[in-house]
Structure 1
Amino acid sequence: MKKNSYKIKAPIGDRVFLSVVYIILAIVVLVMLYPFAYAVSVSISDPAEVIAGKVTFYPKGFDLGSFKIMINHPIFFTAYKNTILYTVLGTFFTLFFTALTAYPLSKDKFQMRSFISKVYIITMFFEGGMIPTYLAYKSLHMIDTIWVMVLPGALSAWNIILMRTFYRNIPESLTESAYIDGATDLQILVKIILPLSKPIMATIGLFTAVGIWNGYFNALLYLNDTMKYPLQMILRGILVAAAFDPSEKGAYAELTHSATESLKMASIIITTLPVMCIYPFIQKYFVKGTMVGSIKG
Protein backbone atom coordinates (compact mmCIF):
# COMPACT_ATOMS: atom_id res chain seq x y z
CA MET A 1 0.00 0.00 0.00
CA LYS A 2 1.43 3.32 -1.03
CA LYS A 3 1.78 5.80 1.77
CA ASN A 4 0.76 9.37 1.24
CA SER A 5 3.57 11.83 1.79
CA TYR A 6 2.85 15.40 2.66
CA LYS A 7 5.32 18.19 2.29
CA ILE A 8 4.79 21.02 4.68
CA LYS A 9 5.37 24.33 2.94
CA ALA A 10 7.15 27.05 4.84
CA PRO A 11 5.13 30.21 5.48
CA ILE A 12 5.46 32.81 2.76
CA GLY A 13 7.21 35.14 5.19
CA ASP A 14 9.96 32.57 5.84
CA ARG A 15 10.38 31.93 2.13
CA VAL A 16 10.74 35.62 1.39
CA PHE A 17 13.24 35.96 4.22
CA LEU A 18 15.34 33.03 2.96
CA SER A 19 15.26 34.40 -0.57
CA VAL A 20 16.56 37.74 0.64
CA VAL A 21 19.29 36.01 2.67
CA TYR A 22 20.40 33.95 -0.35
CA ILE A 23 20.52 37.05 -2.54
CA ILE A 24 22.60 38.92 0.04
CA LEU A 25 24.96 35.96 0.44
CA ALA A 26 25.37 35.68 -3.32
CA ILE A 27 26.26 39.38 -3.52
CA VAL A 28 28.75 39.00 -0.68
CA VAL A 29 30.37 36.01 -2.42
CA LEU A 30 30.73 37.97 -5.65
CA VAL A 31 32.18 40.97 -3.82
CA MET A 32 34.73 38.72 -2.12
CA LEU A 33 35.64 36.73 -5.23
CA TYR A 34 35.97 39.65 -7.63
CA PRO A 35 39.22 41.11 -6.15
CA PHE A 36 40.96 37.74 -6.38
CA ALA A 37 39.65 37.11 -9.90
CA TYR A 38 40.80 40.60 -10.87
CA ALA A 39 44.26 39.92 -9.41
CA VAL A 40 44.54 36.69 -11.41
CA SER A 41 43.42 38.44 -14.60
CA VAL A 42 45.84 41.34 -14.21
CA SER A 43 48.78 39.07 -13.34
CA ILE A 44 48.49 37.09 -16.58
CA SER A 45 47.34 39.91 -18.88
CA ASP A 46 49.39 41.99 -21.26
CA PRO A 47 50.80 44.95 -19.26
CA ALA A 48 49.76 47.32 -22.03
CA GLU A 49 46.15 46.19 -21.66
CA VAL A 50 46.40 46.62 -17.89
CA ILE A 51 47.70 50.18 -18.05
CA ALA A 52 44.96 51.00 -20.57
CA GLY A 53 42.36 49.88 -18.04
CA LYS A 54 40.88 47.21 -20.28
CA VAL A 55 41.26 44.33 -17.80
CA THR A 56 38.28 43.77 -15.52
CA PHE A 57 37.13 40.22 -14.80
CA TYR A 58 38.70 38.42 -17.76
CA PRO A 59 42.37 38.68 -18.79
CA LYS A 60 43.31 40.54 -21.94
CA GLY A 61 46.12 38.90 -23.84
CA PHE A 62 48.38 36.44 -22.09
CA ASP A 63 51.70 37.37 -20.51
CA LEU A 64 53.52 35.54 -17.69
CA GLY A 65 56.34 38.06 -17.63
CA SER A 66 55.52 39.21 -14.10
CA PHE A 67 55.85 35.68 -12.75
CA LYS A 68 59.09 35.17 -14.69
CA ILE A 69 60.57 38.35 -13.20
CA MET A 70 59.87 37.12 -9.68
CA ILE A 71 61.01 33.57 -10.27
CA ASN A 72 64.22 34.79 -11.94
CA HIS A 73 65.18 36.73 -8.82
CA PRO A 74 68.58 35.37 -7.67
CA ILE A 75 67.31 34.18 -4.29
CA PHE A 76 63.60 33.70 -4.99
CA PHE A 77 63.59 29.97 -4.28
CA THR A 78 65.87 30.43 -1.27
CA ALA A 79 63.43 32.99 0.12
CA TYR A 80 60.51 30.65 -0.57
CA LYS A 81 62.30 27.87 1.29
CA ASN A 82 63.04 30.24 4.18
CA THR A 83 59.40 31.27 4.40
CA ILE A 84 58.24 27.65 4.51
CA LEU A 85 60.81 26.90 7.21
CA TYR A 86 59.84 29.94 9.30
CA THR A 87 56.15 29.13 8.94
CA VAL A 88 56.49 25.47 9.89
CA LEU A 89 58.79 26.08 12.86
CA GLY A 90 56.90 29.15 14.05
CA THR A 91 53.55 27.35 13.93
CA PHE A 92 55.00 24.31 15.71
CA PHE A 93 56.53 26.35 18.53
CA THR A 94 53.35 28.39 18.91
CA LEU A 95 51.15 25.32 19.27
CA PHE A 96 53.68 23.55 21.50
CA PHE A 97 54.19 26.39 23.99
CA THR A 98 50.55 27.48 23.93
CA ALA A 99 49.30 23.96 24.67
CA LEU A 100 51.74 23.52 27.55
CA THR A 101 50.95 26.93 29.03
CA ALA A 102 47.17 26.79 28.69
CA TYR A 103 46.80 23.35 30.32
CA PRO A 104 47.79 24.28 33.91
CA LEU A 105 45.96 27.61 33.61
CA SER A 106 42.76 25.69 32.87
CA LYS A 107 42.96 23.76 36.15
CA ASP A 108 41.39 25.21 39.29
CA LYS A 109 43.81 23.24 41.47
CA PHE A 110 46.73 25.27 40.10
CA GLN A 111 47.18 27.92 42.81
CA MET A 112 49.09 30.43 40.67
CA ARG A 113 46.51 30.27 37.88
CA SER A 114 44.91 33.66 38.54
CA PHE A 115 48.19 35.55 39.01
CA ILE A 116 49.86 34.12 35.91
CA SER A 117 46.74 34.75 33.82
CA LYS A 118 46.77 38.42 34.85
CA VAL A 119 50.45 38.72 33.95
CA TYR A 120 49.75 37.37 30.46
CA ILE A 121 46.78 39.70 30.02
CA ILE A 122 48.98 42.71 30.88
CA THR A 123 51.25 41.82 27.94
CA MET A 124 48.28 42.28 25.61
CA PHE A 125 48.19 46.01 26.39
CA PHE A 126 51.81 46.92 27.18
CA GLU A 127 55.08 46.08 25.47
CA GLY A 128 58.68 47.19 25.69
CA GLY A 129 58.82 48.99 22.35
CA MET A 130 60.87 48.52 19.22
CA ILE A 131 64.30 49.63 20.46
CA PRO A 132 64.24 47.76 23.82
CA THR A 133 62.98 44.68 21.98
CA TYR A 134 65.84 44.91 19.49
CA LEU A 135 68.38 45.29 22.31
CA ALA A 136 66.89 42.30 24.10
CA TYR A 137 67.18 40.13 20.99
CA LYS A 138 70.73 41.36 20.44
CA SER A 139 71.74 40.47 23.99
CA LEU A 140 70.34 36.98 23.40
CA HIS A 141 72.39 36.68 20.16
CA MET A 142 69.24 36.20 18.11
CA ILE A 143 69.81 38.96 15.57
CA ASP A 144 70.29 37.65 12.04
CA THR A 145 69.37 34.09 13.04
CA ILE A 146 66.44 31.86 12.24
CA TRP A 147 65.29 31.99 15.87
CA VAL A 148 64.44 35.68 15.75
CA MET A 149 61.81 34.79 13.14
CA VAL A 150 60.14 31.90 14.97
CA LEU A 151 60.56 32.31 18.75
CA PRO A 152 59.47 35.88 19.70
CA GLY A 153 55.86 35.37 18.61
CA ALA A 154 55.60 31.78 19.78
CA LEU A 155 53.61 32.64 22.90
CA SER A 156 50.62 34.96 22.67
CA ALA A 157 48.32 35.87 25.53
CA TRP A 158 45.33 35.80 23.21
CA ASN A 159 46.15 32.28 22.01
CA ILE A 160 46.60 31.13 25.59
CA ILE A 161 43.17 32.49 26.55
CA LEU A 162 41.54 30.76 23.57
CA MET A 163 43.15 27.41 24.28
CA ARG A 164 42.55 27.66 28.03
CA THR A 165 38.85 28.31 27.37
CA PHE A 166 38.68 25.31 25.06
CA TYR A 167 40.35 23.10 27.66
CA ARG A 168 37.87 24.17 30.32
CA ASN A 169 34.98 23.06 28.08
CA ILE A 170 36.32 19.48 28.05
CA PRO A 171 34.41 17.40 30.66
CA GLU A 172 36.36 17.16 33.89
CA SER A 173 35.22 13.55 34.29
CA LEU A 174 37.66 12.50 31.54
CA THR A 175 40.70 13.77 33.40
CA GLU A 176 39.40 12.54 36.76
CA SER A 177 39.05 9.01 35.35
CA ALA A 178 42.59 9.21 34.01
CA TYR A 179 43.88 10.34 37.41
CA ILE A 180 42.18 7.34 39.03
CA ASP A 181 43.90 5.04 36.53
CA GLY A 182 47.27 6.53 37.52
CA ALA A 183 47.89 8.83 34.56
CA THR A 184 50.12 11.86 35.00
CA ASP A 185 49.24 15.37 33.83
CA LEU A 186 51.59 15.04 30.87
CA GLN A 187 49.94 11.78 29.81
CA ILE A 188 46.49 13.33 30.18
CA LEU A 189 47.53 16.30 28.06
CA VAL A 190 49.08 14.20 25.30
CA LYS A 191 46.63 11.29 25.17
CA ILE A 192 43.31 12.94 26.11
CA ILE A 193 43.33 16.73 25.90
CA LEU A 194 45.27 17.30 22.69
CA PRO A 195 43.35 14.72 20.59
CA LEU A 196 40.13 16.48 21.64
CA SER A 197 41.61 19.91 20.88
CA LYS A 198 42.07 19.59 17.12
CA PRO A 199 39.60 22.44 16.35
CA ILE A 200 41.36 25.05 18.49
CA MET A 201 44.79 23.77 17.44
CA ALA A 202 43.82 24.11 13.78
CA THR A 203 42.42 27.60 14.34
CA ILE A 204 45.47 28.93 16.18
CA GLY A 205 47.77 27.13 13.77
CA LEU A 206 46.08 28.69 10.75
CA PHE A 207 46.20 32.23 12.17
CA THR A 208 49.84 31.77 13.16
CA ALA A 209 50.90 30.28 9.84
CA VAL A 210 49.20 33.01 7.81
CA GLY A 211 50.73 35.71 10.01
CA ILE A 212 54.24 34.31 9.61
CA TRP A 213 53.77 33.65 5.89
CA ASN A 214 52.68 37.23 5.22
CA GLY A 215 55.06 38.89 7.67
CA TYR A 216 58.09 40.89 6.61
CA PHE A 217 58.54 43.51 9.36
CA ASN A 218 60.55 41.29 11.71
CA ALA A 219 62.84 40.33 8.82
CA LEU A 220 63.24 44.00 7.96
CA LEU A 221 64.32 44.80 11.53
CA TYR A 222 66.31 41.78 12.60
CA LEU A 223 67.80 40.12 9.49
CA ASN A 224 70.89 41.40 7.71
CA ASP A 225 71.81 38.36 5.63
CA THR A 226 69.81 38.38 2.40
CA MET A 227 70.10 34.59 2.18
CA LYS A 228 67.87 34.39 5.26
CA TYR A 229 65.20 36.72 3.90
CA PRO A 230 61.63 35.40 3.68
CA LEU A 231 59.63 35.60 0.48
CA GLN A 232 57.82 38.78 1.50
CA MET A 233 61.12 40.68 1.71
CA ILE A 234 62.00 39.66 -1.83
CA LEU A 235 58.59 40.69 -3.13
CA ARG A 236 58.89 43.97 -1.26
CA GLY A 237 62.27 44.57 -2.87
CA ILE A 238 60.88 43.86 -6.32
CA LEU A 239 57.86 46.10 -5.85
CA VAL A 240 59.14 49.16 -4.02
CA ALA A 241 62.92 49.19 -4.32
CA ALA A 242 65.17 50.18 -7.22
CA ALA A 243 63.55 47.56 -9.43
CA PHE A 244 61.23 50.25 -10.76
CA ASP A 245 63.93 52.74 -11.55
CA PRO A 246 64.02 53.00 -15.38
CA SER A 247 67.77 53.55 -15.20
CA GLU A 248 68.29 50.38 -13.16
CA LYS A 249 70.30 47.74 -14.98
CA GLY A 250 70.20 44.05 -14.38
CA ALA A 251 67.37 41.65 -13.59
CA TYR A 252 64.70 44.34 -13.63
CA ALA A 253 65.77 46.39 -16.62
CA GLU A 254 62.75 45.22 -18.60
CA LEU A 255 60.29 46.67 -16.10
CA THR A 256 58.25 49.67 -17.12
CA HIS A 257 55.52 51.57 -15.36
CA SER A 258 52.90 49.53 -17.16
CA ALA A 259 54.33 46.31 -15.72
CA THR A 260 54.19 47.37 -12.07
CA GLU A 261 50.47 46.64 -11.67
CA SER A 262 50.85 43.17 -13.16
CA LEU A 263 53.81 42.56 -10.88
CA LYS A 264 51.84 43.56 -7.80
CA MET A 265 49.01 41.21 -8.67
CA ALA A 266 51.45 38.40 -9.44
CA SER A 267 52.94 38.83 -5.97
CA ILE A 268 49.46 38.51 -4.47
CA ILE A 269 48.88 35.22 -6.32
CA ILE A 270 52.27 33.82 -5.32
CA THR A 271 51.78 34.60 -1.64
CA THR A 272 48.12 33.61 -1.26
CA LEU A 273 48.06 30.42 -3.33
CA PRO A 274 49.78 28.14 -0.76
CA VAL A 275 47.44 29.28 2.03
CA MET A 276 44.41 28.74 -0.20
CA CYS A 277 45.59 25.20 -0.94
CA ILE A 278 45.97 24.35 2.75
CA TYR A 279 42.77 25.94 4.06
CA PRO A 280 40.26 23.37 2.65
CA PHE A 281 41.96 20.57 4.60
CA ILE A 282 41.53 22.30 7.98
CA GLN A 283 38.26 24.12 7.34
CA LYS A 284 36.16 21.65 9.35
CA TYR A 285 38.38 22.17 12.40
CA PHE A 286 38.60 25.91 11.83
CA VAL A 287 34.82 26.39 12.02
CA LYS A 288 34.64 24.51 15.33
CA GLY A 289 37.63 26.36 16.74
CA THR A 290 36.21 29.80 16.02
CA MET A 291 33.14 28.87 18.08
CA VAL A 292 35.21 28.18 21.20
CA GLY A 293 33.44 29.24 24.34
CA SER A 294 30.17 30.06 22.57
CA ILE A 295 28.45 26.79 23.48
CA LYS A 296 28.51 25.29 26.93
CA GLY A 297 28.04 21.55 27.15
Structure 2
Amino acid sequence: MRKKSIDWPDRLTVILIGVILSLIVFITLYPLLFVLFASFSDGDQLLAHRGLLWKSLGFNISAYTRALANPAIWSGYKNTITLVLGGVMLNLSLTILGAYVLSRRNVLWNKMLMIFVVVSMFFSGGMIPFYLVIKQLGMMNTLWALLLPFSIKTFHLIIMRTAFLSLPPSLEEAAQIDGAGHWTMLLRVVIPLSMPVITVIVLYTAVDKWNMWFFPSMFIQDRTLYPLQLVLREILIYSQTDTISSGAATGEAYKLGETIKYATIIIATLPVLLVYPFLQRFFVKGALVGSIKG
Protein backbone atom coordinates (compact mmCIF):
# COMPACT_ATOMS: atom_id res chain seq x y z
CA MET A 1 0.00 0.00 0.00
CA ARG A 2 1.39 3.36 -1.01
CA LYS A 3 2.20 5.67 1.85
CA LYS A 4 0.44 9.00 1.91
CA SER A 5 2.83 11.81 1.02
CA ILE A 6 3.16 14.84 3.27
CA ASP A 7 2.15 18.13 1.67
CA TRP A 8 4.60 21.01 1.61
CA PRO A 9 2.49 23.19 3.94
CA ASP A 10 2.58 20.39 6.50
CA ARG A 11 6.33 20.01 6.09
CA LEU A 12 6.86 23.73 6.53
CA THR A 13 4.71 23.66 9.66
CA VAL A 14 6.77 20.81 11.12
CA ILE A 15 10.02 22.61 10.27
CA LEU A 16 8.77 25.87 11.79
CA ILE A 17 7.70 24.12 14.98
CA GLY A 18 11.08 22.40 15.17
CA VAL A 19 12.93 25.71 14.76
CA ILE A 20 10.82 27.41 17.44
CA LEU A 21 11.28 24.54 19.90
CA SER A 22 15.02 24.47 19.22
CA LEU A 23 15.22 28.20 19.89
CA ILE A 24 13.32 27.78 23.17
CA VAL A 25 15.68 24.95 24.23
CA PHE A 26 18.70 27.11 23.40
CA ILE A 27 17.36 30.13 25.33
CA THR A 28 16.62 27.89 28.32
CA LEU A 29 19.85 25.90 28.26
CA TYR A 30 22.46 28.50 27.30
CA PRO A 31 22.56 30.42 30.64
CA LEU A 32 23.43 27.18 32.41
CA LEU A 33 26.09 26.35 29.81
CA PHE A 34 27.53 29.85 30.16
CA VAL A 35 27.85 29.42 33.93
CA LEU A 36 29.42 25.97 33.45
CA PHE A 37 31.98 27.20 30.90
CA ALA A 38 32.77 30.29 32.97
CA SER A 39 33.35 28.21 36.10
CA PHE A 40 36.13 26.26 34.34
CA SER A 41 37.68 29.34 32.74
CA ASP A 42 40.78 31.35 33.54
CA GLY A 43 39.94 34.61 35.32
CA ASP A 44 42.03 36.83 33.04
CA GLN A 45 40.57 35.41 29.84
CA LEU A 46 37.03 35.46 31.22
CA LEU A 47 37.20 39.14 32.17
CA ALA A 48 38.63 40.02 28.77
CA HIS A 49 35.99 38.02 26.89
CA ARG A 50 32.97 39.70 25.32
CA GLY A 51 29.90 38.12 23.75
CA LEU A 52 28.64 34.54 23.90
CA LEU A 53 30.71 31.87 25.58
CA TRP A 54 30.86 28.52 23.80
CA LYS A 55 33.67 26.82 25.72
CA SER A 56 35.85 27.28 28.77
CA LEU A 57 38.61 29.87 28.31
CA GLY A 58 41.89 28.39 29.47
CA PHE A 59 40.57 25.33 31.32
CA ASN A 60 41.11 25.88 35.06
CA ILE A 61 39.68 24.17 38.16
CA SER A 62 41.09 26.58 40.72
CA ALA A 63 37.63 28.11 41.25
CA TYR A 64 36.23 24.74 42.33
CA THR A 65 39.27 24.08 44.53
CA ARG A 66 38.78 27.39 46.33
CA ALA A 67 35.00 27.05 46.56
CA LEU A 68 35.13 23.53 47.99
CA ALA A 69 37.78 24.63 50.49
CA ASN A 70 35.29 27.12 51.93
CA PRO A 71 33.80 25.57 55.12
CA ALA A 72 30.61 27.60 54.63
CA ILE A 73 29.83 25.52 51.52
CA TRP A 74 29.94 22.27 53.46
CA SER A 75 27.96 23.58 56.43
CA GLY A 76 25.43 24.97 53.91
CA TYR A 77 25.15 21.55 52.30
CA LYS A 78 24.61 19.92 55.68
CA ASN A 79 21.89 22.39 56.67
CA THR A 80 20.18 22.20 53.30
CA ILE A 81 20.15 18.38 53.32
CA THR A 82 18.66 18.52 56.83
CA LEU A 83 15.96 20.90 55.58
CA VAL A 84 15.23 18.74 52.53
CA LEU A 85 14.97 15.45 54.44
CA GLY A 86 13.04 16.91 57.36
CA GLY A 87 10.80 19.01 55.12
CA VAL A 88 9.95 16.12 52.81
CA MET A 89 9.09 13.74 55.66
CA LEU A 90 7.03 16.32 57.54
CA ASN A 91 5.24 17.72 54.49
CA LEU A 92 4.54 14.30 52.99
CA SER A 93 3.19 12.83 56.23
CA LEU A 94 0.81 15.71 56.94
CA THR A 95 -0.25 16.07 53.31
CA ILE A 96 -1.12 12.38 52.97
CA LEU A 97 -3.09 12.35 56.23
CA GLY A 98 -4.95 15.56 55.39
CA ALA A 99 -5.69 14.51 51.82
CA TYR A 100 -6.95 11.11 52.95
CA VAL A 101 -9.46 12.70 55.34
CA LEU A 102 -10.62 15.24 52.74
CA SER A 103 -11.02 12.52 50.09
CA ARG A 104 -13.37 10.33 52.18
CA ARG A 105 -16.82 10.51 50.64
CA ASN A 106 -18.64 9.66 53.87
CA VAL A 107 -16.94 12.21 56.15
CA LEU A 108 -19.26 14.77 57.70
CA TRP A 109 -18.70 18.34 56.48
CA ASN A 110 -16.23 17.14 53.83
CA LYS A 111 -17.19 19.87 51.37
CA MET A 112 -17.06 22.57 54.02
CA LEU A 113 -13.60 21.45 55.10
CA MET A 114 -12.35 21.61 51.50
CA ILE A 115 -13.78 25.09 51.03
CA PHE A 116 -12.05 26.19 54.23
CA VAL A 117 -8.73 24.77 52.98
CA VAL A 118 -9.01 26.57 49.63
CA VAL A 119 -10.05 29.87 51.22
CA SER A 120 -7.17 29.70 53.68
CA MET A 121 -4.77 29.51 50.74
CA PHE A 122 -5.89 32.93 49.49
CA PHE A 123 -6.36 34.67 52.84
CA SER A 124 -3.29 33.58 54.76
CA GLY A 125 -1.64 36.07 57.11
CA GLY A 126 1.07 38.54 56.14
CA MET A 127 4.77 38.30 56.87
CA ILE A 128 4.75 40.52 59.98
CA PRO A 129 2.31 38.32 62.03
CA PHE A 130 4.14 35.28 60.69
CA TYR A 131 7.48 36.65 61.91
CA LEU A 132 6.04 37.57 65.31
CA VAL A 133 4.55 34.11 65.85
CA ILE A 134 7.86 32.41 65.09
CA LYS A 135 9.67 34.81 67.42
CA GLN A 136 7.10 34.28 70.18
CA LEU A 137 7.47 30.49 69.92
CA GLY A 138 11.23 30.77 70.37
CA MET A 139 12.09 29.28 66.97
CA MET A 140 14.19 32.21 65.74
CA ASN A 141 17.71 31.22 64.68
CA THR A 142 16.84 27.51 64.52
CA LEU A 143 16.12 25.20 61.60
CA TRP A 144 12.69 24.53 63.15
CA ALA A 145 11.69 28.01 61.93
CA LEU A 146 12.15 26.72 58.39
CA LEU A 147 10.43 23.37 58.94
CA LEU A 148 7.36 23.64 61.16
CA PRO A 149 5.70 26.76 59.64
CA PHE A 150 6.04 25.26 56.15
CA SER A 151 5.12 21.70 57.07
CA ILE A 152 2.08 21.60 54.77
CA LYS A 153 1.03 23.50 51.65
CA THR A 154 -2.54 23.88 50.45
CA PHE A 155 -1.51 23.34 46.82
CA HIS A 156 0.09 19.99 47.66
CA LEU A 157 -2.97 19.03 49.71
CA ILE A 158 -5.31 19.70 46.78
CA ILE A 159 -3.15 17.68 44.37
CA MET A 160 -2.98 14.73 46.76
CA ARG A 161 -6.72 14.83 47.51
CA THR A 162 -7.51 14.86 43.79
CA ALA A 163 -5.30 11.83 43.26
CA PHE A 164 -6.97 9.95 46.12
CA LEU A 165 -10.42 10.77 44.73
CA SER A 166 -9.42 9.35 41.34
CA LEU A 167 -8.94 5.87 42.84
CA PRO A 168 -11.82 3.46 42.08
CA PRO A 169 -14.34 3.33 44.97
CA SER A 170 -14.58 -0.44 44.44
CA LEU A 171 -11.08 -0.86 45.89
CA GLU A 172 -12.15 0.83 49.11
CA GLU A 173 -15.33 -1.23 49.28
CA ALA A 174 -13.41 -4.49 48.73
CA ALA A 175 -10.91 -3.57 51.45
CA GLN A 176 -13.75 -2.75 53.87
CA ILE A 177 -15.40 -6.10 53.16
CA ASP A 178 -12.10 -7.79 54.04
CA GLY A 179 -12.12 -5.95 57.37
CA ALA A 180 -9.54 -3.26 56.59
CA GLY A 181 -9.57 -0.13 58.71
CA HIS A 182 -8.50 3.34 57.68
CA TRP A 183 -4.81 2.82 58.46
CA THR A 184 -4.73 -0.46 56.51
CA MET A 185 -6.60 1.22 53.66
CA LEU A 186 -4.17 4.12 53.60
CA LEU A 187 -0.94 2.15 53.90
CA ARG A 188 -1.77 -0.86 51.72
CA VAL A 189 -4.17 0.50 49.11
CA VAL A 190 -4.15 4.28 48.75
CA ILE A 191 -0.43 5.04 49.11
CA PRO A 192 0.86 2.23 46.80
CA LEU A 193 -1.57 3.28 44.06
CA SER A 194 -0.67 6.97 44.45
CA MET A 195 3.11 6.72 44.22
CA PRO A 196 3.40 8.91 41.07
CA VAL A 197 1.60 11.77 42.83
CA ILE A 198 3.58 11.21 46.02
CA THR A 199 6.75 11.46 43.92
CA VAL A 200 5.54 14.81 42.58
CA ILE A 201 4.98 16.12 46.11
CA VAL A 202 8.42 14.87 47.17
CA LEU A 203 10.01 16.63 44.20
CA TYR A 204 8.08 19.86 44.78
CA THR A 205 9.01 19.91 48.47
CA ALA A 206 12.65 18.92 47.96
CA VAL A 207 13.24 21.60 45.33
CA ASP A 208 11.46 24.19 47.47
CA LYS A 209 13.62 23.39 50.49
CA TRP A 210 16.79 23.19 48.39
CA ASN A 211 16.20 26.65 46.88
CA MET A 212 15.08 28.29 50.13
CA TRP A 213 16.92 31.52 50.92
CA PHE A 214 14.39 34.29 51.65
CA PHE A 215 12.96 32.88 54.88
CA PRO A 216 16.39 31.77 56.17
CA SER A 217 17.60 35.34 55.65
CA MET A 218 14.76 36.49 57.93
CA PHE A 219 14.89 33.83 60.66
CA ILE A 220 18.55 32.71 60.77
CA GLN A 221 21.38 34.89 62.06
CA ASP A 222 23.87 32.16 63.00
CA ARG A 223 26.12 31.68 59.96
CA THR A 224 26.70 28.03 60.87
CA LEU A 225 22.97 27.43 60.25
CA TYR A 226 22.89 29.09 56.83
CA PRO A 227 21.48 26.79 54.11
CA LEU A 228 23.40 26.44 50.87
CA GLN A 229 21.39 28.99 48.89
CA LEU A 230 21.96 31.66 51.54
CA VAL A 231 25.69 30.93 51.40
CA LEU A 232 25.53 31.23 47.61
CA ARG A 233 23.66 34.54 47.90
CA GLU A 234 26.35 35.94 50.16
CA ILE A 235 29.09 34.87 47.78
CA LEU A 236 27.33 36.39 44.78
CA ILE A 237 26.55 39.70 46.49
CA TYR A 238 29.55 40.32 48.70
CA SER A 239 32.52 38.76 46.89
CA GLN A 240 33.05 41.74 44.60
CA THR A 241 32.29 44.20 47.40
CA ASP A 242 34.97 42.68 49.59
CA THR A 243 37.62 42.75 46.87
CA ILE A 244 36.77 46.32 45.85
CA SER A 245 36.81 47.59 49.43
CA SER A 246 40.20 45.93 49.99
CA GLY A 247 41.66 47.65 46.94
CA ALA A 248 42.03 44.40 44.99
CA ALA A 249 39.45 45.14 42.34
CA THR A 250 41.96 44.68 39.51
CA GLY A 251 44.08 42.04 41.22
CA GLU A 252 44.08 38.27 41.35
CA ALA A 253 41.40 38.14 44.04
CA TYR A 254 38.87 39.84 41.79
CA LYS A 255 39.73 37.64 38.79
CA LEU A 256 39.43 34.46 40.81
CA GLY A 257 36.31 35.77 42.54
CA GLU A 258 34.50 35.94 39.20
CA THR A 259 35.09 32.25 38.47
CA ILE A 260 34.39 31.24 42.09
CA LYS A 261 30.89 32.74 41.81
CA TYR A 262 30.12 30.59 38.78
CA ALA A 263 31.65 27.49 40.39
CA THR A 264 29.52 28.00 43.49
CA ILE A 265 26.36 28.21 41.36
CA ILE A 266 27.22 24.87 39.73
CA ILE A 267 27.96 23.28 43.11
CA ALA A 268 24.61 24.48 44.47
CA THR A 269 22.48 23.37 41.50
CA LEU A 270 24.23 20.17 40.41
CA PRO A 271 22.43 17.77 42.83
CA VAL A 272 18.99 18.88 41.63
CA LEU A 273 20.06 18.61 37.98
CA LEU A 274 21.33 15.07 38.56
CA VAL A 275 18.22 13.85 40.39
CA TYR A 276 15.50 15.41 38.23
CA PRO A 277 15.99 13.24 35.06
CA PHE A 278 15.37 10.07 37.09
CA LEU A 279 12.13 11.47 38.55
CA GLN A 280 10.82 13.13 35.40
CA ARG A 281 8.61 10.24 34.26
CA PHE A 282 6.97 10.05 37.72
CA PHE A 283 6.64 13.83 37.77
CA VAL A 284 4.73 13.98 34.46
CA LYS A 285 2.43 11.07 35.32
CA GLY A 286 1.77 12.29 38.86
CA ALA A 287 1.01 15.86 37.77
CA LEU A 288 -1.55 14.56 35.27
CA VAL A 289 -3.19 12.20 37.77
CA GLY A 290 -3.38 14.95 40.36
CA SER A 291 -5.27 17.33 38.04
CA ILE A 292 -7.87 15.30 36.14
CA LYS A 293 -10.53 14.97 38.82
CA GLY A 294 -11.74 17.37 41.48
Partner of 2:223: 226
Count of residues in correspondence between the two structures: 287
CA distance in 2 between partners of 1:191 and 1:235 (Å): 42
Identity of aligned residues (%): 37
SS in 1 for 2:149: coil
Contact 2:232 2:265 in 1 (8 A): no
The answer as to 2:50 corresponding to 1:51 is no
> Aligned-pair distance for 1:194?
0.8
Partner of 1:29: 25
Partner of 2:266: 269
CA distance in 2 between partners of 1:23 and 1:245 (Å): 45
Contact 1:214 1:271 in 2 (8 A): no
Structure 1: gaps of 5 or more residues: 1-5
The answer as to 2:117 corresponding to 1:155 is no
Q: Partner letter of residue 101 of structure 1?
A: G
The alignment yields a C-alpha RMSD, in angstroms, of: 2.2
The answer as to 2:123 corresponding to 1:126 is yes
**Higher mean displacement: 7-16 or 230-239:** 7-16
With over 3 angstroms needed to count, the CA separation of the structure-2 counterparts of 1:71 and 1:21, relative to structure 1, is: same
With over 3 angstroms needed to count, the CA separation of the structure-2 counterparts of 1:275 and 1:7, relative to structure 1, is: farther
Contact 2:159 2:291 in 1 (8 A): no
> Aligned-pair distance for 1:17?
3.5
1:167-178 correspondence to structure 2 within 5 Å: 167-178=164-175
SS in 2 for 1:45: coil
Q: Partner letter of residue 133 of structure 2?
A: A
Partner of 1:3: none
> Aligned-pair distance for 1:185?
1.1
CA distance in 2 between partners of 1:131 and 1:293 (Å): 33
1:197-236 correspondence to structure 2 within 5 Å: 197-236=194-233
> Aligned-pair distance for 1:243?
6.0
SS in 2 for 1:215: coil
Partner of 1:137: 134
SS in 2 for 1:291: helix
CA distance in 1 between partners of 2:165 and 2:111 (Å): 14
> Aligned-pair distance for 1:56?
0.8
SS in 2 for 1:245: helix
Q: Normalized against structure 2, the TM-score is what?
A: 0.89
Choose between structure 1 and 2: higher helix proportion: 2
> Aligned-pair distance for 1:288?
0.6
Partner of 1:8: 3
Aligned with 1:255 (options 253, 256, 260): 253
Could you report, residue by residue, the CA deviation over 1:248-289 in whole angstroms, capped at 9, with x for unpaired residues?
49xxx9531x44543332222112110011112211110112
Partner of 2:96: 99
CA distance in 2 between partners of 1:39 and 1:185 (Å): 51
Could you report, residue by residue, the CA deviation over 1:11-53 in whole angstroms, capped at 9, with x for unpaired residues?
3254443343333323322222211111101111112222222
Could you report, residue by residue, the CA deviation over 1:105-132 in whole angstroms, capped at 9, with x for unpaired residues?
1122111222222222222222322221
